[in-house]
Structure 1
Amino acid sequence: MRRRQHQEHENHERWLVSYADFITLLFAFFVVMYSISSVNEGKYKVLSDTLVGVFNQPQRAIDPIPIGENLPRNVSQLDGAGAAESADGSAAGSSSDPLQDITAAMQAAFGDLIEAGDLELRGNELWIEIELNSGLLFPSGDALPSDAAFGLLDRIAGILAPYQNPVHVEGFTDNIPIRSRAYPTNWELSAARAATVVRMLANGGVDPGRLAAVGYGEFRPVADNTTVAGRRANRRVVLLVSRFLDNRHQAFTGGDQNVDDMRRARNQAGTGPAE
């Protein structure tokens, strides 16, 4: 005898599930719309006042900031010699430019080294760079000056001594590693060479308060270290003579930002060792 197939009971209330979902979503939609339409008047007023204040501020800079190699030409008033103003406003003392005087004296005293490429002069209205090949001053891998270095640096000190411009001495090496007991890396070697030059300039009459020494090691090359000529060019000592007086350790009076401006201008000009 065949069994009777049980017929499933048809559910006529399935629409309630979809309807409940729809009502839930509709409720959530109205909640979101209500929350968006409610504005916090206090926060709105603060935001509005802030925006109005920002856009109504007076212009802070009148002249555009110089970019690239266009350097300011009105630097005579910031002369490193610090020409004093008399009571009637006229400048007292010498009107000569110290950087021009130093450059002319270096060219006259070391024309043979300049022609041979062992000494280079670079610069602009803000600074001059006196670049010396390390072979003129030190034996290979050492920071003890050679016999010829004493006479050379004594002549340079005689040129720089009459002026009050700061002199930053920078030491550079090639990328050949050095692992001596005195100089574990090229950092120590370059810094020691810069310090030696500073000490010799001070002994030659340059005010020690104007001097500073820094070593860059192998990380500021100006030539390809894969060639002999490139490595020779990278082994150098640079004397950076700034137009501005170094007032970093004096109380700030809101005046010119001389040292920072000089460094920024040097980076923008792209002359000398890159920084």
Structure 2
Amino acid sequence: MARRKHHEEHANHEAWAIPYADLMTLLLAFFVVMYAISSLNEGKYRIMADALTTAFGGAPRTINPVQVGNQQVQGGGWDSPSVIRAGTKIGPSAPAPSNDPTLLPAMASQMRMPVSIRNQAQLQRAERQLNGIADKLTATLAPLIERGMITVRRTELWIEVEINSDILFPTGSATLDVHARDTLSKLAEVLRDAPNGVRVEGHTDNIPIATSLFPSNWELSAGRAASVVHLFADQGLQPARLAMVGYGQFRPREDNASAEGRNRNRRVMVIILADTAQSIDPITDRLSADAEAADATQATAAGTPVTPIAPVQLPPVPAGSRVGAAVPPAMKE
């Protein structure tokens, strides 16, 4: 039987064309992407620059709108869209926009500094003003400071005036003593003309109280803080600058195991903030966070589980009424 003749197959010399076409497609896509990244949209750049400048405390600048299709993003000049004129270079080698020659230096300086010069000047003025208040308070309250009944502490952002409750209120009461009114009036006189926000905190020891007016130490501490706030308002401090909170027994300064420790824990804290009343919330959050961290450390060291306690805030007392009216009606018997 005759064998079938085997025909030799010819080599395909055009097999390189397919990977070559794939490579060209990838290179084209790569350069398109690089071109898109390197193209500078002046309008978007100026908007970003203004946002950075404003975030770092600088004055906002006029922004041209950005043309996106048939829509405009409104900026400083609504009727003058940002366009690229004929002959303008684009890409990495293009010169920076020359509409505002101070834009790039301003951005560079803002990026180099954690706080702008303007904010630094404001902080310095606030610090000097806070130092002046601290000096006045120390001079005004010197007799009580020497006796250890009042402590004035100065921090970078606020002043703490710690007043022992024994010189302000009778035991188990939130009604100010006559001599306490004189002391607090002197304090209010120093704060009356200052723009600073004032926060009043009430604290007690851990001795339980259960009366129709004060079911717990929360109500007692809040009532005492409210009494001080109302006196400050009566002495001419703007109510918008004032805030009060009662922490009860849950922010102790000392151990309640001793009589001396309980006496230290019965206190009213008057906190004068370095900024206006608008700064009450951020500083309050920081104070609360610091206090909670300290309590957590204390409780962990003692092996006691930490339970978050929310402070009790009471509604304002109508003018002419007793402090007892500050307790919510649902708590009265």
Alignment TM-score, normalising by the size of structure 1: 0.60
SS at match of 1:216: strand
Q: Deviations over 1:175-206 (max 9, x none)?
A: 00001110010000000000000000111111
Q: Deviations over 1:37-83 (max 9, x none)?
A: xxxxxxxxxxxxxxxxxxxxxxx9979x9xxxxxxxx76514786xx
What's the offset of the Cα at 1:246? 2.9
2:219 aligned residue (166, 184, 188)? 188
**Residues 168 and 213, structure 1, Cα contact 8 Å, conserved in 2:** yes
* Other-structure match for 1:122: 153
Tell me the percent identity.
41
The residue type paired with residue 263 of structure 2 is: R
| Alpha-carbon distance in structure 1 between the residues aligned to 2:133 and 2:268 | 18
Structure number with greater CO (CA < 8 Å, separation at least 6) is 1
The residue type paired with residue 98 of structure 1 is: Q
* Other-structure match for 2:122: 77
Matched, 1:226 2:257: yes
**Residues 159 and 271, structure 2, Cα contact 8 Å, conserved in 1:** yes
**Residues 170 and 214, structure 1, Cα contact 8 Å, conserved in 2:** yes
| Alpha-carbon distance in structure 1 between the residues aligned to 2:242 and 2:139 | 24
2:283 aligned residue (251, 256, 262)? 262
Matched, 1:156 2:176: no
* Other-structure match for 1:24: none
**Residues 165 and 242, structure 1, Cα contact 8 Å, conserved in 2:** yes
SS at match of 1:97: helix
The residue type paired with residue 77 of structure 1 is: Q
2:228 aligned residue (190, 197, 212)? 197
**Residues 197 and 280, structure 2, Cα contact 8 Å, conserved in 1:** no
* Other-structure match for 1:133: 164
What's the offset of the Cα at 1:264? 5.9
Alignment of 1:67-106 (within 5 A): 76-78=121-123, 97-106=128-137
Change (3 A) 1:111 1:261: same
* Other-structure match for 2:204: 173
**Residues 187 and 218, structure 1, Cα contact 8 Å, conserved in 2:** yes
| Alpha-carbon distance in structure 1 between the residues aligned to 2:133 and 2:227 | 22
| Alpha-carbon distance in structure 1 between the residues aligned to 2:219 and 2:124 | 34
**Alignment length, in residue pairs?**
185
RMSD: 3.2
Structure 1: unaligned runs, 5 residues or longer: 1-59, 66-73, 82-95, 248-257
* Other-structure match for 2:244: 213
SS at match of 2:270: strand
Structure 2: unaligned runs, 5 residues or longer: 1-54, 57-110, 297-333
Alignment TM-score, normalising by the size of structure 2: 0.50
**Residues 79 and 244, structure 1, Cα contact 8 Å, conserved in 2:** no
1:108 aligned residue (139, 151, 160)? 139
